[in-house]
Chain A
Amino acid sequence: MKLSRRSFIKASVATGVIAAGAGGTKPMLQALAENSGKENKQVSEGEWRPTVCQGCTTWCAVQVKVVNGRAVKVRGNPHSKANNHDGKVCPRAHLSLQQVYDPDRIKTPMKRTNPKKGRNEDPQFVPITWDEAIDEIAEKFLELRKNNEPHKFVLMRGRYTYLREILYGAFPKLIGSPNSISHSALCAEAEKFGSYYTEHYWGYRDYDLRNTRYVILWGADPLASNRQVPHAMNVWGEVMDRAKVAVIDPRLSVTAAKADEWLPVIPGEDGALATAMAHVILTEGLWNKSFVGDFVDGVNRFKQGETVDPETFQENLTYGLVRWWNLELKDRTPQWAEQKAGIPAEQIIRVAREFAEAAPKAISWLSPGTSMQVRGGYAAMAAHALNGLVGSVDNVGGTIRSAKYPTQAIPSVEPFMDDIAKAGNKHHKVDQRGYKEFPALKKGKSGKGVVTNRLADAILDEDPYEVKMAIGYWNNFTFSCAGASRWEKALEKLPFFVHITTHPSEMAMFADIVLPAAHHLYERLGYIESKANTISYIAMNQRVIEPVWDVRIDETEIPWMIAEKLAEKGFTNVLDYFKSIKDPETGKTPTNSWEFSEYVLKTMTQPIWDPAIKTEGDQFSGWEEFKKVGIWNSEPYKFRNKWKDFGTKTGKFEFYSETLKAALEHHAEKHNTNVDDIMKVTKYQARGELAFVPHYEEPFRWGDEKEYPFIFVEHRSRLNREARSANCQWYQEFKDVDPGDERWDDVAKINPVDAGKLGLKTGDKIRLKSPTGEIECTAKVWEGVRPGTIVKCYGQGHWAYGRIAAKDFKKRMPRGGNNNELLPADYERLSGSTVRHGGVTRVKVEKL
């Protein structure tokens, strides 16, 4: 029984001692109460546990609210300084609850019993045990190795955490295959091409939004997709208060709808706008003199159509400005661009002028839209070169890179590779990278980049050799690759295919064995590196709830299980290597797949959490604290550090790319030819020195205009969790947050002018046909698209994946149509990137 406050005070006044807890007296409490053994109510109501959302490539540090072992909510991790201020997170994160608890998840390993493969073949899957599944996989590996053909195994990676180092990095090498094939070329390698061959940065850029005064978005829609989405949403109100925003996009995206300027470019003509803007900046003398330099006598000689004597210009931190002008820019007038791009010259001039006047606090923001075009490499360079012209590269309010991520590598696999493995690894990678027509010039080297989508052709044509076995994880190439039907054919042909997945995806339908994967946000271990808001961060995927079914972590647990099985059968190298990765705290050797996963994670992140290792950024007292916080933040970005030496061939920001020249010449030499020939086989129009400067290229389109009158445009959904969320009710219920789209439907948006000509109205069922494929969907008559184009969001059209994603899962009937069945398999070949933008194909519309 508690004393009343009055009696308590009286007692104190009487005795002069309140607290004197002379034996047996109870403390006098009002706000607090002694715990009677019951769990504290507040805590039993739930706990926020840290992990990572990989619903898009932002890779947010999030927290999951767990109540009695159930995940109930998701929010941003408040410890994040980059993307998730104050617990903010984008709508995608909430959808993940309907993924992890989706009844359509695969709950057990399964095996195909119908040997015939095809979309309309029922695989007749039957459940098997993990041991049976792993045994069969191990047998296949041993067979390949016995026949000295371990390189005929391919590991296909989709989304990943940095624990990829095991399954994607170490494992194939130890087996004897060089074929770790990533999805990266589906993402945006062409975009990285733009920043690499100007400022030597092969990566996605961060942007100093808080300080910027002008933003040009080249097809980017940061309120909805691309990287750093929650941060952009969080500050966009302020950005628009302070800065002007111009959006170049054939469709009215949500960012375009809110922008000061919308430039609905004719698809694929971005390069015309970028070069014309550069032309305006130069002719009007608006370039950044301290960054770029100036004419020796201060007199601007950049006059339309006139070449300039390089001797008259003294360049500072850039290289090749005058050559760029003479080779390309001098004739790229806004009036010329208006004819090409369908954007009024005065708008081009206004944007260029105001952008340059706001500089250097100005951003020219690249995205897949401008770069993932057949001839998009140079458009990406041109758009990025604008940052060079105005000195916003690596500058306050401009476009920046990331801080260093203080992680460490796992031990080398070399000592554990036997002769079979060594011989296998000597083979050329199977995706045709580095072929004459696929330079894939990642980081300046011929054939260094991946050409993901060519793998289907490689399998079908057995070029460079036959593929006998593959494991795919966290990917769905039959859905996500342009020219998707080739993948169906390729997987039909593939003799043995293992798919690791959460859902019965389109790709799983072709598998011989399907293994249920742990969900990345709730059930696994891993870590990611990302950046936004001038902060780089590392966050950990953690198991915040007990998995619903008997799932395993794709990148670590499954290879461990295979390694154990291989060791049982006499091939111990893989397991020996895995066991060489110890717990950095205790030195213990892993004894099971979970310990192994944890030790790899601890090893790689050790510099962050181990107080004995000195690093910048957030500090931790040890592993336990890092786990609890879940994220490490760097110090804010240090601007202008790269100005001393960009790392290009010349050390400067290159308008005339000596770096690209060297890469192209090396690739040409490798194939005993010249750069002009390489330009020709990679479908580019440039000849001579034009190949080394950002320049305009006419768009390359599939299909004849007469037969296929419309240019097809695709875009991203703000609810896509990389095309894995269509089986969530909330995705369908709120699909109309993508402007122009409809709930529970998949629409092709068409301008009223065109709809009128075709006699179409909203809700009509239509068929879209390209030269390479066709899909069915619903027409939506909408003003937010340019006449002459058909605009459609990516993400719907699943014929598998689950009972909501597909209209009828059992009958393989899709909800709408998958754009990738319409898009041809084509490439920006210099980077290896797949192409889906720039109006790569024309289509025709048929009313059903």
Chain B
Amino acid sequence: MAEAVTNNEIRANVYKLLSLCYQQPDEDLGDIVVSLAEQLCKVYLELAEPAGKLVQQLPEDAAAVQQLQVDHAKLFIGPFDLLAPPYGSVYLEEKRKVMGDTTMEVIAAYQEAGLQLDENFKEPPDHIVAELEFMYFLIFKELQGEATVSRQKRFLERYLQPWAEPFCRKIIENAATDFYKITAEITRNFIRQDLELLSR
């Protein structure tokens, strides 16, 4: 029991930190990545190595920061022909549609959990940042004693995992920096493992 709780804390932390990794890179990035590595090496041993590499990829100067920012923009911001569109509906709906039906279902899932999009968050609701954060939120609620495991599983299985795979693949194929390639690899493997865990 105690172990499960510990794991839930780490799971929550990892989801939250991964979510932060997909936001626009700024001066916090170092803290985020270091924390992520710390968390992963406690339980997810095979992810410790890439996490370590990720720390090594942290930008050391302004030019490197800018390079990361450019890569981030090309991958995720656009506005057109993003190299790795960070929205679920693009992968889940036929013909790469944004704000498709799955988007509506994601909104419904948030609503059911008592959430809505933050008004300062200007992205579609099925953005990777929001969906990872939502997993964090559900596990957080679980830690607080609310039973959310089935909701975690349903959300992960139906909405996040199916598109996380092709999304991460696109990053790995198209990113200019190793930083995002590794982030994608960690994301993909973590989500895969987590779904296995929940499916047990």
Chains A and B directly touch (beta carbon < 8 Å): yes
Residues of A within 8 A of B (CB): 5-6, 9-10, 12-13, 16-21, 23, 27-35, 38, 40-43, 47-48, 78-79, 85-87
Q: B46 on the interface (CB 8 Å rule)?
A: no
B93, closest chain A residue (CB) = A78
A20, A38, A42, A86: most-surrounded residue (chain B CB, <10 A): A42
Q: Contacts A19-B16, A19-B139 known; A32 to B110 CB distance under 8 Å?
A: yes
CB of A20 within 8 A of CB of B9, answer yes
A-B contact pairs, 28 of them (CB 8 A): A6-B27, A6-B28, A9-B31, A9-B32, A9-B35, A10-B31, A18-B13, A19-B12, A19-B136, A20-B9, A21-B143, A27-B137, A28-B16, A29-B118, A30-B121, A30-B133, A31-B117, A32-B115, A32-B117, A33-B115, A33-B118, A33-B119, A35-B114, A42-B116, A48-B101, A48-B104, A78-B94, A87-B97
Chain B interface, >50% SS class: helix
Q: B130 on the interface (CB 8 Å rule)?
A: yes
CB of B121 within 8 A of CB of A31, answer yes
CB of B97 within 8 A of CB of A86, answer yes
Partner of A34, one of B28, B31, B100, B115: B115
CB of A31 within 8 A of CB of B32, answer no
CB of B130 within 8 A of CB of A32, answer yes
Q: B74 on the interface (CB 8 Å rule)?
A: no
CB of A18 within 8 A of CB of B111, answer no
**Closest Cβ–Cβ distance, residue A8 to chain B (whole Å):** 9
Binding stretch for chain A, among B17-25, B63-71, B169-177:
B17-25
A16, A32, A38: most-surrounded residue (chain B CB, <10 A): A32
CB of B125 within 8 A of CB of A42, answer yes
C-alpha gap A43/B110 in the complex (Å): 11
CB of A19 within 8 A of CB of B121, answer no
Residues of the A chain whose Cβ atoms lie less than 8 Å from the Cβ of B200: none
C-alpha gap A43/B99 in the complex (Å): 12
Q: B157 on the interface (CB 8 Å rule)?
A: no
CB of A78 within 8 A of CB of B100, answer yes
Partner of B13, one of A6, A17, A32, A85: A17
Q: Mark B103-142, 1 if CB is under 8 A from A, else 0.
A: 0100110110011111101010101011001101101110
Residues of the B chain whose Cβ atoms lie less than 8 Å from the Cβ of A20: 9, 143
Partner of A13, one of B35, B114, B136, B141: B35
CB of A13 within 8 A of CB of B34, answer yes
Residues of B within 8 A of A (CB): 8-9, 12-13, 16-17, 19-20, 23, 27-28, 31-32, 34-35, 38, 93-95, 97, 100-101, 104, 107-108, 110-111, 114-119, 121, 123, 125, 127, 129-130, 133-134, 136-137, 139-141, 143-144
Residues of the B chain whose Cβ atoms lie less than 8 Å from the Cβ of A34: 114-115
CB of B119 within 8 A of CB of A31, answer no
B8, closest chain A residue (CB) = A19
C-alpha gap A35/B133 in the complex (Å): 15
CB of B143 within 8 A of CB of A19, answer yes
**Closest Cβ–Cβ distance, residue B35 to chain A (whole Å):** 5
Residues of the A chain whose Cβ atoms lie less than 8 Å from the Cβ of B104: 43, 47-48
Residues of the A chain whose Cβ atoms lie less than 8 Å from the Cβ of B94: 78, 85-86
Residues of the A chain whose Cβ atoms lie less than 8 Å from the Cβ of B95: 85-86
CB of A31 within 8 A of CB of B133, answer yes
CB of B13 within 8 A of CB of A40, answer no
**Closest Cβ–Cβ distance, residue A19 to chain B (whole Å):** 3
**Closest Cβ–Cβ distance, residue B92 to chain A (whole Å):** 11
C-alpha gap A29/B12 in the complex (Å): 12
Residues of the B chain whose Cβ atoms lie less than 8 Å from the Cβ of A42: 107, 116-117, 125
B99, closest chain A residue (CB) = A42
**Closest Cβ–Cβ distance, residue B66 to chain A (whole Å):** 20
Known: A30-B23, A86-B97. 11 other contacts (CB 8 A): A5-B20, A9-B35, A18-B12, A18-B17, A19-B16, A20-B9, A21-B143, A29-B137, A42-B125, A43-B107, A48-B101
C-alpha gap A85/B117 in the complex (Å): 29
**Closest Cβ–Cβ distance, residue B42 to chain A (whole Å):** 9
Residues of the B chain whose Cβ atoms lie less than 8 Å from the Cβ of A29: 115, 118, 133, 137
Partner of B140, one of A19, A35, A47: A19
CB of A31 within 8 A of CB of B143, answer no
Residues of the A chain whose Cβ atoms lie less than 8 Å from the Cβ of B116: 32-33, 35, 38, 40-42
Residues of the A chain whose Cβ atoms lie less than 8 Å from the Cβ of B9: 17, 19-20
A24, closest chain B residue (CB) = B144
C-alpha gap A29/B19 in the complex (Å): 10
Residues of the B chain whose Cβ atoms lie less than 8 Å from the Cβ of A40: 107, 110-111, 116-117
Residues of the A chain whose Cβ atoms lie less than 8 Å from the Cβ of B13: 12, 17-19
Q: Contacts A6-B28, A19-B136, A27-B140 known; A43 to B115 CB distance under 8 Å?
A: no
A41, closest chain B residue (CB) = B116
B96, closest chain A residue (CB) = A86
C-alpha gap A106/B195 in the complex (Å): 57
**Closest Cβ–Cβ distance, residue A722 to chain B (whole Å):** 30
Residues of the B chain whose Cβ atoms lie less than 8 Å from the Cβ of A30: 19-20, 23, 118, 121, 129, 133
CB of A41 within 8 A of CB of B143, answer no
**Closest Cβ–Cβ distance, residue A17 to chain B (whole Å):** 6
CB of A78 within 8 A of CB of B111, answer no
C-alpha gap A19/B27 in the complex (Å): 22
A29, A35, A48: most-surrounded residue (chain B CB, <10 A): A29
C-alpha gap A34/B101 in the complex (Å): 23
C-alpha gap A27/B114 in the complex (Å): 13
A20, A27, A33: most-surrounded residue (chain B CB, <10 A): A27
Residues of the B chain whose Cβ atoms lie less than 8 Å from the Cβ of A85: 94-95
C-alpha gap A32/B117 in the complex (Å): 4
Partner of B111, one of A5, A35, A86: A35
C-alpha gap A701/B28 in the complex (Å): 85
C-alpha gap A271/B143 in the complex (Å): 78
Residues of the B chain whose Cβ atoms lie less than 8 Å from the Cβ of A33: 115-119
**Closest Cβ–Cβ distance, residue B14 to chain A (whole Å):** 9
**Closest Cβ–Cβ distance, residue B147 to chain A (whole Å):** 15
C-alpha gap A79/B140 in the complex (Å): 35
Residues of the B chain whose Cβ atoms lie less than 8 Å from the Cβ of A48: 101, 104
Residues of the A chain whose Cβ atoms lie less than 8 Å from the Cβ of B139: 19
B16, B121, B125: most-surrounded residue (chain A CB, <10 A): B16
Q: Contacts A17-B13, A42-B125, A43-B107 known; A35 to B115 CB distance under 8 Å?
A: yes
